Amino acid sequence: MTRYVVTGAGGMLGTDLRGALAGRDATFLTRADLDITDPAAVDAAIAAQLSSGDVVINAAAYTAVDDAESHEDEAHAINAVGAGLVAAAAARSGARVVQISTDYVFDGTATAPYAEGAPRHPVSAYGRTKAEGEERVLAANPDGAYVVRTAWLYGEHGPNFAKTMLKLAAERPTVDVVIDQIGQPTWSRDLAEQIMRLVDSDAPAGIYHGTNGGTASWFDFARLIFELGGYDPESIRPTDSASFVRPAPRPAYSVLGHDAWFGAGIAPLRDWRSALREAFATEALVSA
C-alpha cells in the first residue's frame, strides 16, 4: 500500500489534502512538526519512513510575497533549500515527490499562456526562491519529481482573496480592485484532488500547471465573488496596479498552459467559474 507524507499540512492546500487523502495511509506534518530546512529532521520524517513507490507532497512554503523582498534569505531557506532537501530525502527512499510551485517563476510579460517548459524569469524575491526550489527538486529526484505550479489560490482554510472580498463587501459600500492583472483563480480543493489524480497515474515526472481553466482579472474574480456571496457586483470599481504599489512586483499576466495534463492522459482542472460556484455551494466561503 502506498504511503504518503504531506509537509506544510497546516496551510490552505495542506488542509484540503487531508480530505483528498482520506482513507489512505498518510502522515500530515505542519511547520511545527517538521522544519524542512533541517536535513536530519527531513531524513527522519521522510527517508526513514517511506519506501519505493511512496509519495511526499511538499506544500510547505514561505508565501509572504511582499515580506520576502526584505527576508529573501529566510524565503530561500524554505522555498529553495528546504524543497531540495525534501526531494533528496524522497529520492533516497525511492519515493516520488510533488513540489507545489507558483506562477511567480515567470515575469508576467507574456500574451499567451505560459507553457510548462517556458523559461523561468522571476522578478520578485519570492519568485526567485520558488524557481530555484523547482530546479533543486527536479535535479534531486529527476525520475520521481512532479512540480505543480498553481496561482491565485483560494479556499475554505486560511486567508485568501475570496475571503477578503467577502469581508470588505460587508464593511464598505464600494471596493476598488485591479483590472490590469490577468490570471486563473484556483480552488484549493480542486488542486488537492488533481494532485491525487497525478500521483495515482503513471504520468511522467516533470512540470504540471495546477490552475483552474479560463482567465480573469482580479476585478472579474471579485465581481463573481460578490454575486455568489449575495452582494452587488456593481459596487466593485475597476482600478489599475499603479493604485496599489507593493514591495514585490506582481505578474501582469499569470495564465498557465495545461498541455502536460493532456500528455499524461489526465483532464486539466475545470473552468474557474464552475469551481467558484461549487466552492460557495459547499464551503464556509459564504460566511467568511
Q: Catalytic residue positions?
A: 126
Q: Collect all residues with Cβ–Cβ distance below 8 Å to 163 and sequence separation of at least 6.
A: 154, 285, 288
10 Å Cβ neighbour count for 278?
Answer: 14
10 Å Cβ neighbour count for 271?
Answer: 16
Cβ burial, residue 78 (10 Å; 0-12/13-18/19+): buried
Q: Collect all residues with Cβ–Cβ distance below 8 Å to 227 and sequence separation of at least 6.
A: 233
Partners of 145 in beta bridges? 97
Q: Collect all residues with Cβ–Cβ distance below 8 Å to 245 and sequence separation of at least 6.
A: none
